[in-house]
Chain A
Amino acid sequence: MSAVLFFIAAAGVLAGAVGVVVLRDPFYCVLALVGHLLSLAVLFLLLRAEFVAAVQVLVYAGAVMVLYVFVVAYVGGEGDRSEIGQLGERLGGAGPVASGLRLGGAVLGGALLVELLIALLGTGLEAIGKKGAPYSPGPHAFGTPAYVGELLLTRFLVVFEVTSFLLLVAAVGAVVLARRRRGLGGQDERDVLTPLDLLRPRDTGTMAEGVGKHS
């Protein structure tokens, strides 16, 4: 039963990955990645990682992909318009340089695949044919939210805190990068000096400026 489920989910994972690489429209690429992530969550469930699978579906396939869809809709998926969408013609490409790049990419990918397979499967990992942790139901079994939460708050507390700080830094960075810059129009220039201007220069990316207000 688990073997059947593995092969179904693996087919979904591979189809999603190939779809991301091959499809021309970025919107369809995002949809293919959503399918890939859902299939991967099934694999995580098979690997007794229930909490990670739930996080994968909720956070990754949910929140992050919604962000992608919004940005694709905002930007408009016209980046690859000059490319040819068919799978067979992509390796031919447009022009000799592009085809050379794609051929090089395929060769490099094949070499990397062989190397990775040798490194993962061909080395002397003795017990690699075993089945791993047995399934034992219970509130504190391997991979349940209680198990992961206990690990996160005891042994890996530093990882937990550093991750939260990383997410904060990334959110602030995204606001600074994507904010609307002033200075081109000139009609909404501010000439009121506030005490904050002594502490920091103007237009250096506060959260208020990011949403279009002036401090």
Chain B
Amino acid sequence: MTIAWYLALSAIVFVLGAVGVITRRNPLVILLCLELMLNGGNLALIAFSRHFANGAGQIFGLAVMAVAASEVCVGLGLVVAINRRSLPLDVDRLSELRG
């Protein structure tokens, strides 16, 4: 398998995640779609790492995983806080900050 297949797959996964972020309204699902985007980037990083036989891409992939875990941690904290104040779980209706 050449590396181009992996890159095409990573682009498709990234775009699917982006479409999900744009169209979904539940913040939980938006976080999941953000994970999809990060995974698309991760796949491209590791494919390039294999391609150039250079371990830096794998280290970068691990760092991306740590960033994704932090983002999930804080995002789910926000979701729990929203739910605890009994606000709607809908990013279109959470618009108090819109001037």
Contact = CB atoms under 8 A, between A and B. Distances in A.
Contact of A43 (B43, B56, B80): B43
A170 B74 contact: yes
B92 to A, nearest CB: 9
Interface stretch (A171-179, A186-194, A196-204): A171-179
Contacts of B33: 20-21
A40 B3 contact: no
Query: From DSSP, what is the main secondary structure of chain B's interface residues?
Result: helix
Interface SS majority for chain A: helix
A57 B56 CA distance: 20
A71 B46 contact: no
B43 A80 contact: no
B1 A131 contact: yes
A interface, how many residues as a size bin? 35 or more
B56 A156 contact: yes
Contacts of B36: 17, 20-21, 33, 36
Interface string A38-73: 001001101111011001100110011001100110
A127 B47 CA distance: 13
Interface in B24-51: 24-29, 32-33, 35-36, 39, 42-44, 46-47, 49-51
Nearest to A156: B59
B3 A166 contact: no
A167 B70 contact: yes
Q: Which 6 A-B residue pairs are closest in the complex by CB-CB distance?
A: A79-B26, A177-B77, A170-B70, A133-B53, A109-B19, A105-B22
Given A55-B65, A170-B69, A177-B74, 14 more contacts: A40-B42, A47-B49, A64-B72, A68-B28, A72-B28, A75-B79, A79-B28, A105-B23, A106-B19, A113-B11, A117-B8, A129-B3, A167-B69, A177-B81
